[in-house]
Structure 1
Amino acid sequence: MPTTAILSIDQGTTSSRAIVFSLSGQPIASAQYEFTQYYPQNGWVEHDPEEIWATTYKACKEALAKAAESDVDVVSIGITNQRETTLVWDRSTGKAIYNAIVWQDRRTAPTCNKLAPSLASVRAKTGLLLDPYFSSTKIAWILDNVEGARQLANEGKLAFGTVDSFLIWRLTNGESHVTDATNACRTNLYNIHNNQWDNDLLTLFNVPSSVLPKVLDSASDFGTTAQGLFNTQIPINGVAGDQQAALFGQCCFNTGDLKSTYGTGCFALLNTGKSALPSQNKLLTTIAYRINGKTTYALEGAIFTAGANVQWLRDGIKVIKVAKETQALAESLDYDHGVFLVPGFAGLGAPHWEPNARATMFGMTRNTNNAHLARAALEAVCYQTADLLSAMKQDGANSTSVWVDGGMVGNDWLCQFLADILNIEVKRPAMMESTALGVAYLAGLYQGLYKDFEEISTHKALDKAFLPAMPNDTRDHLCAKWEVAVQSTLHFANA
């Protein structure tokens, strides 16, 4: 008898992956393809929409073919995606009219500055800040900078979507122009309290309603793959932005549950239940998931570069050949090695939100080598996570442990240093593909393959727990030095 399974599409910032999961949350088959990052100007980051689609489709075909060899019946698809990345395409052709503008892109910072007087009303409705990170100003930029685009939009001939929406359009051959609440809430156009696109925000950001997708629950009927695309037509039933998907995949279903994902960037989300907890410390109030019309909220802190720091070491300054070298290099130094990296490669996210910040290195001597650079790049992620958790605590949201996932946390040294700096337990799950797993669970929930959250939670297993072991005075000293480095970077950004 065939094994029932779910295909998860994990379309990330640097690669497109497809993983076929069994109902117990175990990967059966997978495929992954990297794609090109474009940096046309300082602070600009773009992707080729056709490359996003091509790598996604290729990965899906390959994963499904591998799964078929094991007598697997794929009954549903879940999609998780890099959030805020913005595409606008022609409804008649399905072709994007401009490259995808990536979430890291800073080009609309001047627009955000001009809109600063509206910050309070934007924040009250969306839980977000005014920052180039979010989709709204990216949409307007495309409409204003591609010849004839705004006229076409006003005529209803263009469609906007985050990556999930674009992929669903392609997968269904244009039959479905939809998204889910977790992606909609990252646009700065969506009211997270009444779960609707907001006309006042559309006017503020100069975005016509005609381009917007329909917003569905995270577990819903998003359409069915077009005939001939795969060997059989498959329904799409789970969609969530990557960080919310990771929260779901980590089974953080209870108020106070906290996860932190270390991919290209780092994102810490804390489940706040039915309460959309406002932040006084520049964290984001966001939708964690929406199921059966009921919304669960989260408090989020975003770090723009985490794994991207290691990618810079490898591809930018070429001090390592592969990412796994960083663990041995970090272990070769003591705590007092003296070098700090503030990784403002794409500005600084929470709790600073300074788009003009740029990366800075402190404490270098003639003796500084690749070990110092590697360790500083890893440590920076831990210090920044500590800043996020400190902000959450000040907002009244606290947790005694954190579940971690993402490519970086396979590094034991990083996990231990993280526990030391956070001074709480760090838990690494046996299945670290939490993002892809989260939308598999959502799709399975919609299909009735899982009865409830409790049944999903039975599949979660701990790989390893890391307990803090650093002396308090050492932690305090390191964090104080880090704070000086951050403040110096912020001062330079505004000089």
Structure 2
Amino acid sequence: MGISSVTDPRARILAIDQGTTSVRATLLDASLTALASQAESVPRSFPKPGWVELDAEEVVAATERVAAAAIKAAEGAPIAGVGLANQGETVVVWERASGKPIAPAVVWQCRRTEALCDELRKDEATAAWVRKATGLPIDPYFSATKLAWLLDEIPGARERAARGELVAGTLDTFTLYRLSAGKIFVTDPSTSCRTLLAGLASGRWDAQLCELFRVPSSMLAEVVSSDAEAGSIAIAGASLPVRALLCDQPSALLGTGCLSPGDAKCTYGTGAFVQANTGGEPAESAGDDGLLRSIAWELGGARTYLCEGSVLAAGDVLTWLRDDLGLLNRPEEVDEILRSTPSSEGVLFVPALGGLGAPRWSGSARGTLLGLHRGSRREHFVRAALEGIAHQVADILDAAARALPSGLRPLWADGGLSLSPAFLELQADLAGSSLRRAAHTEATTRGVSALAAVGAGLIGSAEEAVKGDASLEISPKLDAGARDAARRRYRKLVDWMVSPAGLELMTI
């Protein structure tokens, strides 16, 4: 949209990462060295079992505050470009004229549309068609049924949408709309293809999908390339050019340098997200392998694809252990407990606090604890929770290795839990494969900032910027027999959890 490149050697990049529990803004120089960073927590609410909401207005306000603080650190140097990474499937419906949301944002973790998804899945032909068209299963995780629920349940919303009074989108779209006074109404293919409303082949809205899920396409934003010059937003009195848009997990895939088919990363955030680059085409599937197919990014009209497996609760498990159960005091305790407690002493915990993600996709499953005895202590429970996260990641890695003809290269790890060497050793042991920790732990920031820097003319290519060495490399040390025994026991419990008998007991 006519934004020129920048030649000032002092030029800076502003990267914004809108995560599930916090918003972070980072100021970077032309070499993508972080000069300043500011983060602010954004509280979620849980009004009913399985429901998760955010105040979308507060997300925008927090974005403005952290961005303004980062810009202040530039000390007058020009902001050459903004890169915005968003949390994906979380959706907002707002008034076109005022920009005001008509309800809280429905977060990707929210399971309120489970019954609607069950009804749609009853038609096996429709479910199979959706899977082929989008690369995704019909599941509450994704945006489409959330939007349909908002239109159905908020009085008058569907009628107002039909009159063109309401629009809808993910948090990137809402944020840009608000910070541009309604002038920017866009998203990118890495985000649109997480909604169940866009075709995997193009990343653009599909009329048949919109009709199936009863979401008017007239409500939805224009889909532009991930490196499109989207326009300018206003923060702290400055007009800032937006040069890059990405969903947060693909941004981390790019930020860890996963540029070739078979390159893979796991970002340990609120959830744990394993993604593998599959090149210019989606990975073929011989059946339902439980993995998602999605667009990683679209640069200059050329799309790169990925396959993904999601663990719905990872860092969120630690937050729960700390804030709700009082079993952890600080993040550093993870490493201490794993070092001092080499075994869970028979305690097995599958922390499916919001259901099971890939590869089983059971939204009705709940966290399940087994094997408690009189000698069980706090440390055994915490270790079992961490083992449960690592087991779920190992399941996804097994499925991804089967899905990619060339297999997977050693996994790159980033995000909060990757800061614990003891946890990474546990992950390598249960996966039975080597892994590497990225030198830059904020991989999401690095990915979207690299695209913004290219758009501003500060660097030649994103590939140059994101390649880096590992800060830690770990190989599995657990005996193969012990690993197989641990994996079999875990799988037996998960098999029971998703069986009719298990699900019946979990019904609230």
The TM-score, its normalising length taken from structure 2, stands at 0.94
Alpha-carbon spacing, 1:185–1:251, altered in 2? closer, same or farther (3 Å): same
Aligned partner (choices 237, 242, 251) of residue 245 of structure 1: 251
Structure 1 residue 72: deviation in Å? 3.8
Aligned partner (choices 48, 53, 67) of residue 41 of structure 1: 48
Which residue type is aligned with residue 191 of structure 1?
G
Aligned partner (choices 263, 267, 282) of residue 261 of structure 1: 267
Give, in whole Å, the separation in 1 of the partners of 2:387 and 2:74: 39
Counterparts of 1:240-319 in structure 2 under 5 Å? Answer: 240-279=246-285, 280=287, 281-319=289-327
Asked if structure 2 preserves the Cα contact closer than 8 Å seen for 1:238 and 1:442, the reply is yes
Asked if structure 2 preserves the Cα contact closer than 8 Å seen for 1:330 and 1:372, the reply is no
Structure 1 position 55 matched with structure 2 position 55:
no
The residue aligned with 2:168 is 160
The residue aligned with 1:6 is 13
- Structure 2 residue matching 1:403: 3-state secondary structure: strand
**1:3-55 residue CA offsets vs partner (Å, 9 max, x unmatched):** 32211111111011111122222211011111221111110000111111111
Asked if structure 2 preserves the Cα contact closer than 8 Å seen for 1:21 and 1:437, the reply is no
Structure 1 residue 453: deviation in Å? 4.1
The residue aligned with 2:493 is 485
Structure 1 position 174 matched with structure 2 position 182:
yes
Asked if structure 1 preserves the Cα contact closer than 8 Å seen for 2:81 and 2:455, the reply is no
Asked if structure 2 preserves the Cα contact closer than 8 Å seen for 1:245 and 1:439, the reply is yes
The residue aligned with 2:3 is none
Give, in whole Å, the separation in 2 of the partners of 1:15 and 1:195: 27
The residue aligned with 1:450 is 459
Give, in whole Å, the separation in 1 of the partners of 2:295 and 2:460: 23
Aligned partner (choices 102, 105, 108) of residue 110 of structure 2: 105
**1:407-464 residue CA offsets vs partner (Å, 9 max, x unmatched):** 1110010111111122222111111000111110111122232222442245x23211
Q: Structure 2: where are the runs of 5+ without partners?
A: 1-7
Structure 1 residue 231: deviation in Å? 4.1
The residue aligned with 2:423 is 414
Structure 1 position 225 matched with structure 2 position 230:
no
Give, in whole Å, the separation in 1 of the partners of 2:294 and 2:191: 10
The residue aligned with 2:95 is 90
The residue aligned with 2:145 is 137
**1:69-98 residue CA offsets vs partner (Å, 9 max, x unmatched):** xx6432110011111001010011111101
Asked if structure 1 preserves the Cα contact closer than 8 Å seen for 2:257 and 2:463, the reply is no
Give, in whole Å, the separation in 1 of the partners of 2:366 and 2:257: 35
Structure 1 residue 175: deviation in Å? 0.4
Asked if structure 2 preserves the Cα contact closer than 8 Å seen for 1:305 and 1:346, the reply is yes
Give, in whole Å, the separation in 2 of the partners of 1:59 and 1:5: 16
**1:160-210 residue CA offsets vs partner (Å, 9 max, x unmatched):** 111111111112111011000000000000001133211111110000111
The residue aligned with 1:423 is 432
- Structure 2 residue matching 1:197: 3-state secondary structure: coil
- Structure 2 residue matching 1:16: 3-state secondary structure: strand
- Structure 2 residue matching 1:29: 3-state secondary structure: strand
Give, in whole Å, the separation in 1 of the partners of 2:327 and 2:14: 37
- Structure 2 residue matching 1:190: 3-state secondary structure: coil
Structure 1 residue 133: deviation in Å? 0.3
Give, in whole Å, the separation in 1 of the partners of 2:50 and 2:442: 30
Structure 1 residue 336: deviation in Å? 5.7
Asked if structure 2 preserves the Cα contact closer than 8 Å seen for 1:76 and 1:236, the reply is yes
Structure 1 residue 476: deviation in Å? 0.8
The residue aligned with 1:27 is 34
The TM-score, its normalising length taken from structure 1, stands at 0.96
- Structure 1 residue matching 2:178: 3-state secondary structure: helix
Give, in whole Å, the separation in 1 of the partners of 2:292 and 2:167: 27
Asked if structure 2 preserves the Cα contact closer than 8 Å seen for 1:244 and 1:289, the reply is yes
Structure 1 residue 278: deviation in Å? 3.6
Asked if structure 2 preserves the Cα contact closer than 8 Å seen for 1:356 and 1:494, the reply is no
Alpha-carbon spacing, 1:2–1:195, altered in 2? closer, same or farther (3 Å): closer
Structure 1 position 386 matched with structure 2 position 391:
no
Q: Number of residues paired by the alignment?
A: 490
The residue aligned with 1:345 is 353
The residue aligned with 1:67 is 74
Asked if structure 2 preserves the Cα contact closer than 8 Å seen for 1:127 and 1:278, the reply is no
Structure 1 position 355 matched with structure 2 position 360:
no
Structure 1 residue 124: deviation in Å? 1.1
Give, in whole Å, the separation in 2 of the partners of 1:174 and 1:190: 23
Structure 1 residue 232: deviation in Å? 2.4
Structure 1 position 16 matched with structure 2 position 26:
no
Which residue type is aligned with residue 33 of structure 1?
E
The residue aligned with 2:154 is 146
Aligned partner (choices 324, 327, 336) of residue 332 of structure 2: 324
Structure 1 residue 291: deviation in Å? 0.5
The residue aligned with 1:184 is 192
Give, in whole Å, the separation in 1 of the partners of 2:416 and 2:176: 26
**1:297-335 residue CA offsets vs partner (Å, 9 max, x unmatched):** 001001100101100110111111112212111221223
Give, in whole Å, the separation in 2 of the partners of 1:285 and 1:377: 28
Identity of aligned residues (%): 37
Give, in whole Å, the separation in 1 of the partners of 2:424 and 2:415: 12
Structure 1 residue 225: deviation in Å? 1.1
Give, in whole Å, the separation in 2 of the partners of 1:329 and 1:88: 44
Asked if structure 1 preserves the Cα contact closer than 8 Å seen for 2:344 and 2:383, the reply is no
Aligned partner (choices 374, 379, 386) of residue 366 of structure 1: 374
Q: Structure 1: where are the runs of 5+ without partners?
A: none
- Structure 2 residue matching 1:196: 3-state secondary structure: coil
- The 10-residue stretch of structure 1 (247-256 or 59-68) with the greater mean CA deviation from structure 2: 59-68
**1:266-286 residue CA offsets vs partner (Å, 9 max, x unmatched):** 111100001111433110010
Structure 1 residue 393: deviation in Å? 2.1
Give, in whole Å, the separation in 2 of the partners of 1:274 and 1:302: 22
Structure 1 residue 2: deviation in Å? 5.7
Give, in whole Å, the separation in 2 of the partners of 1:461 and 1:481: 36
- The 10-residue stretch of structure 1 (323-332 or 253-262) with the greater mean CA deviation from structure 2: 323-332
- Structure 2 residue matching 1:346: 3-state secondary structure: coil
- The 10-residue stretch of structure 1 (300-309 or 193-202) with the greater mean CA deviation from structure 2: 193-202
Asked if structure 1 preserves the Cα contact closer than 8 Å seen for 2:349 and 2:384, the reply is yes
Structure 1 residue 494: deviation in Å? 4.2
Asked if structure 1 preserves the Cα contact closer than 8 Å seen for 2:295 and 2:303, the reply is yes
